[in-house]
Amino acid sequence: MRLVRYGAAGAEKPGLLDGEGAIRDLSAHVCDIDGVALAPSALAQLAALDPASLPKVMGDPRLGSAIARPGKFICVGLNYADHARETGKEPPAEPILFAKASNAICGPNDDVEIPRGSEKTDWEVELGVVIGTRAKYVSEDEALDYVAGYALVNDVSERAFQSERGGQWTKGKSHDTFGPVGPWLATRDEIADLADIDLWLDVDGERRQTGNTRTMIFGVATLVSYISQFMTLEPGDIIATGTPPGVGLGMKPPVFLKPGQVMTLGATGLGEQRQRMVQA
């Protein structure tokens, strides 16, 4: 299934995409696409529905974040070997974890703000993993059983705030709109091979990032298991698994985003996003 949330910001409704890509309303079956709806039993009930029996949503509504109100937004840094090299760093021996504040989450096509005082706002296309079952101390062998599905994430970053202002990375990652998620959540059965997902990102139509999950240092099962050793992962939590090469920081000389520019990005099986940069 491909699950979506559609409607005005703060008033999104749950839906699914039918075989022709039309939105079908799920409001009679679930309150939202959240941790409750992502439980295995709840997903099984939704999968049993005939999309043609659901009300068809007309027009072209705004899409909200594919996941409502995640308790945690955990990110993994330097998780692609070629991206680590472009930043001049050695590939990490263990996953580098940091948090992105939940206020950063927005719809896949919403405007993205450049923070006041920012000179180094950057882009990062990523595979997002969404938890469906509470996970604590899980093994790698069983880790994917705790996953509800996957979504496209843009881990927008302010590099000066992240690395030049002291402390940890969170303040460079958490500005409002710095976490577009969607357009849809693809349930596990929608993704044939987690180790062969193409990712790309353009700025004003010029290709910046081209990558594939085959160059990830730590795969999805490893990450879910690893993170669950340090914190309990709850249904609806999002893990952004790292970005391939081509970020603005890695260009020579570095290039960063300006108001009016447009990012477009996508990944195999996870759809596309489009965001216009605006000044906060």
The CA distance from 234 to 172, in Å, is 25
pLDDT of residue 84: 74
The CA distance from 142 to 127, in Å, is 20
pLDDT > 70: what percent of the chain? 100
pLDDT tens digits, 204-223? 999 999 999 999 999 999 99
pLDDT of residue 85: 76
Q: What are phi and psi of 110, to 5 degrees?
A: -70, 155
CATH H-level, domain 73-279: superfamily: Fumarylacetoacetase-like, C-terminal domain (3.90.850.10)
pLDDT of residue 95: 97
pLDDT of residue 83: 77
Q: Are 146 and 133 in contact (CB under 8 A)?
A: yes
pLDDT tens digits, 129-166? 999 999 999 999 999 999 999 999 999 999 999 999 98
pLDDT tens digits, 158-188? 999 999 998 889 999 999 999 999 999 999 9
Q: What are phi and psi of 126, to 5 degrees?
A: -145, 155
Segment 239-261 shows an average pLDDT of: 96
pLDDT of residue 275: 98
pLDDT of residue 33: 98
pLDDT of residue 166: 85
pLDDT tens digits, 63-99? 999 999 999 999 999 999 877 777 777 889 999 999 9
H/E run at residue 151:
strand 147-154
pLDDT tens digits, 241-251? 999 999 999 99
pLDDT tens digits, 115-128? 999 999 999 999 99
The CA distance from 153 to 273, in Å, is 9
Q: Are 153 and 100 in contact (CB under 8 A)?
A: no
pLDDT of residue 68: 97
Amino acid symbol at 257: L
3-state helix, strand, coil in the chain (%, to 5): 20, 30, 50
What is the pTM (predicted TM-score) of this model?
Answer: 0.97
Range list for CATH 3.90.850.10 in the chain: 73-279
When the pLDDT of each residue in the chain is averaged and rounded to a whole number, the result is 96
* Per-residue confidence band for 55, with pLDDT thresholds at 50, 70 and 90: very high
